[in-house]
Amino acid sequence: MTDLTRFEALVLEYQDMVFAVAVRLLGNASEAEDVSQTVFLKVFERFDEVAASPALAGWLKTVTTNACLNHLSRYRSRWRLFSELPRERDNPGRTESVIDALPSSTPSVEDEVVRAERQAQLEAALRALPDHQRVPLVLFHFEEQSYQEIADLIGVSLAKVKTDIHRGRESLRRLVSSDE
């Protein structure tokens, strides 16, 4: 029988990682919490099998990614339709800059506050991207997957992955570049 105490320790250790992957892929904290819960229940069902695995973190990331894609696939038709249309959301027209995230040599308290605010802006902008741009972009930049891997995972063409990532980056880059 599964040891609930050990399971609780496992959830405590990995909940931030699982939730971070989910919330960035889904762009919605509430849905990300639901998906995270599903992922951990999957772990619970095969706890004895996976708990001792040295590749548990990678396994959790893969399971979470697939669960998120499965969650998003419910809206796949809307996703495809919107991906073909020019969206004002693709060009939010934000002109605020996000400061460079690398730490400066002597950051003051004010610098830290400003940086935190702008990081929050970038995080919000990332979550506000349409699904078809945010998902490949997150997989590319955060999960370090190649274009081909992303195309295979999402089930779209390589060209579409490249275009969507490019458009997503363009939207986000406006927040960054003016500060460069």
Partner 1 sequence: MTNDPRDARDLSAAARSAEVDPLHRALKALPAPRAPRTLLPRVLVDAEARRRQPGIAPWFAWSIEWRLTAAAAVVLVVGSLWFAWPAITLVGTLVLDRVAGAVEARAVATVPGIAALAHLATLAWEMVVQPALGYVLVWMVVMCAISVAIGAAFSAALGRAAFGEATQ
Residue 116 sits at the vertex; the CA angle it makes with 123 and 27, to the nearest 5 degrees, is 15
Asked if residue 2 binds partner 1 (CB under 8 A), the reply is: yes
Using the contact rule CB under 8 A, the part of the chain among 34-42, 82-90, 106-114 near partner 1 is 34-42
What are the distances in angstroms from CA 68 to CA 21, 49, 72, 103, 146? 9, 23, 6, 32, 18
In the complex with partner 1, the residue whose CB is nearer, 81 or 116, is 116
What is residue 87's DSSP assignment? -
The only residue of 87, 122, 128, 143 in contact with partner 1, by rule CB under 8 A = 122
SS3 119: helix
Angle between helices 56-73 and 76-84 (to 10 degrees): 80
For the segment 59-98, give every residue that binds partner 1 (CB under 8 A): 59, 62-63, 65-67, 70, 98
**In the set 28, 31, 90, 142, which binds partner 1 (CB under 8 A)?**
142
Q: Cα separation of 92 and 98, whole Å? A: 15
- Residue in 25, 26, 40, 156 binding partner 1, rule: CB under 8 A: 40
> From the CB of 98, what's the least distance to partner 1, in Å?
6
- Tokens (6 digits) for 116: 């935190």
**Is 7 near partner 1 (CB under 8 A)?**
yes
For the bound state, the minimum distance from the C-beta of residue 173 to partner 1, rounded and expressed in Å, comes to: 5
Q: What is the separation of C-alpha 68 from the centre of its chain, rounded to a whole number of angstroms?
A: 10
Q: How far is the CB of 80 from partner 1 (least distance, A)?
A: 18
Rounded Cα distance between 69 and 149, Å, is 14
Q: Is 52 helix (H, G, I), strand (E, B) or coil?
A: coil
Residues that bind partner 1 (CB under 8 A): 1-2, 4, 7-8, 11-12, 15-20, 23-24, 29, 33, 36-37, 40-42, 44-46, 48-49, 59, 62-63, 65-67, 70, 98, 100-102, 119, 122-123, 126, 140-142, 144, 146, 162-163, 165-167, 169-170, 172-173, 176-177, 180
